[in-house]
Amino acid sequence: MPPARQPVPKLRFDKAGYYFTGLFLLAFLGFWKSYFSGFFNGTGSHHFYFHFHAVMMLTWLVLLIVQPLLIRYKKIKLHRAIGRFSYVVMPLLLISVLLVLNSGLKAIPQNEISFSTVIFPIRDFFLLIIAFTIAILYRHKIQIHARAMIITGIIFIEPALFRFLGKVVFEGMDPWGFFTGIFLILGLLMGLLFIERKQSSGRWLFPSLLVVDILVYALVVAQTDLSFMDPLIRWFARQPLT
The residue ranges of every structural domain in the chain are 16-32+46-106+114-222
> DSSP character for 165?
I
pLDDT at 89: 95
Residue 175 pLDDT: 86
200, amino acid identity: S
DSSP 42-103: S-----HHHHHHHHHHHHHHHHHHHHHHHHHTT-HHHHHHHHHHHHHHHHHHHHHHHHHHHH
> For 121-161, where are the E strands, in sequence order?
none
> What is the C-alpha radius of gyration for the chain, rounded to an integer number of angstroms?
20
Please list the pLDDT of the chain residue by residue as tens digits (242 residues).
455 455 555 566 777 888 888 888 888 888 878 777 777 776 666 788 888 999 999 999 999 999 998 988 888 899 999 989 999 999 999 999 999 999 999 989 988 999 999 999 999 999 999 999 999 999 889 889 999 999 999 999 899 899 888 888 888 677 888 999 999 999 999 999 998 888 877 889 999 999 999 999 999 999 999 999 999 999 999 999 88
pTM: 0.89
Cα–Cα distance for residue pair 228/71, rounded to 1 Å: 47
Give the per-residue pLDDT at 16: 81
Amino acid 136: pLDDT: 94
Cα separation of 41 and 20, whole Å? 28
Say what the pLDDT of residue 138 is.
Answer: 93
What is the reported pLDDT for 220? Answer: 93
